[in-house]
């Protein structure tokens, strides 16, 4: 296994030339004093001071209250839209995975006739019938 800590003798023969055009990147330093940072920002970056009156708040509240019925999921139109969306989503799933269906992995229900045969005597092996009288 090669020792990677030792320099390669072939590479040691190559002279290194420092290019005057190369400038190594300088580390980024963050200003820890944020008050100076905020005051140095331009006015387009600073958010404006917001003067909100009670009338503005009441207007916003009334606007929200007027929009609430549009988002009520119990209305018949919204129920129909939800059903239509779920059907569309199911169709998209079938496009991606044609065999996909939520009922594919659901086990089937057995009829009552097969459960009665289960309670009956279990089937015996043919070899057990033939050699059952032998004692070891």
Q: What is the pLDDT of residue 44?
A: 72
Q: Which residues contact 73 (CB under 8 A, 6 or more apart)?
A: 79, 82
Q: Which two tokens stand for residue 129?
A: 């019938």
Tens-of-pLDDT digits for all 136 residues of the chain? 566 778 888 888 888 878 888 888 888 887 676 666 667 777 777 777 788 899 999 999 999 999 888 777 777 888 888 899 999 998 898 888 877 776 666 666 777 655 555 556 666 777 777 777 776 6
Q: What is the pLDDT of residue 85?
A: 95
Task: Please give the backbone phi and psi of residue 135, each rounded to the nearest 5 degrees, phi first.
Answer: -115, 140
Q: Write down the domain spans for the chain.
A: 55-80
In sign, the C-alpha dihedral spanning 47, 51, 54, 55 is negative
Q: What is the pLDDT of residue 83?
A: 93
CA torsion angle 116 118 120 123 (round to 10): 140
Q: What is the pLDDT of residue 87?
A: 94
DSSP per-residue string spanning 68-112? GGGG-TTSHHHHHHHHHHHHHHHHHHHHHSTT--TTTTSPPPPPH
Q: How far is it, in rounded angstroms, from Cα 86 to Cα 10? A: 69
Q: How far is it, in rounded angstroms, from Cα 65 to Cα 71? A: 11
Q: What is the pLDDT of residue 96?
A: 85
């Amino acid at each position: 296994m090669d020792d990677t800590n030792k320099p390669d003798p072939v590479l040691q023969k190559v002279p290194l030339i420092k290019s005057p055009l190369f400038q190594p990147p300088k580390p980024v330093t963050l200003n820890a004093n944020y008050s100076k940072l905020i005051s140095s920002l331009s006015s387009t970056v600073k958010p404006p001071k917001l003067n909100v009156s009670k009338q503005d708040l009441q207007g916003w509240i009334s606007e929200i209250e007027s929009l609430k019925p549009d988002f009520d999921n119990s209305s018949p139109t919204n129920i129909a839209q939800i059903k239509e969306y779920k059907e569309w989503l199911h169709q998209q799933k079938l496009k991606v995975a044609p065999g996909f269906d939520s009922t594919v992995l659901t086990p089937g229900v057995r009829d009552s006739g097969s459960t009665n045969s289960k309670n009956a005597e279990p089937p015996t092996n043919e070899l057990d019938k033939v050699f059952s009288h032998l004692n070891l």
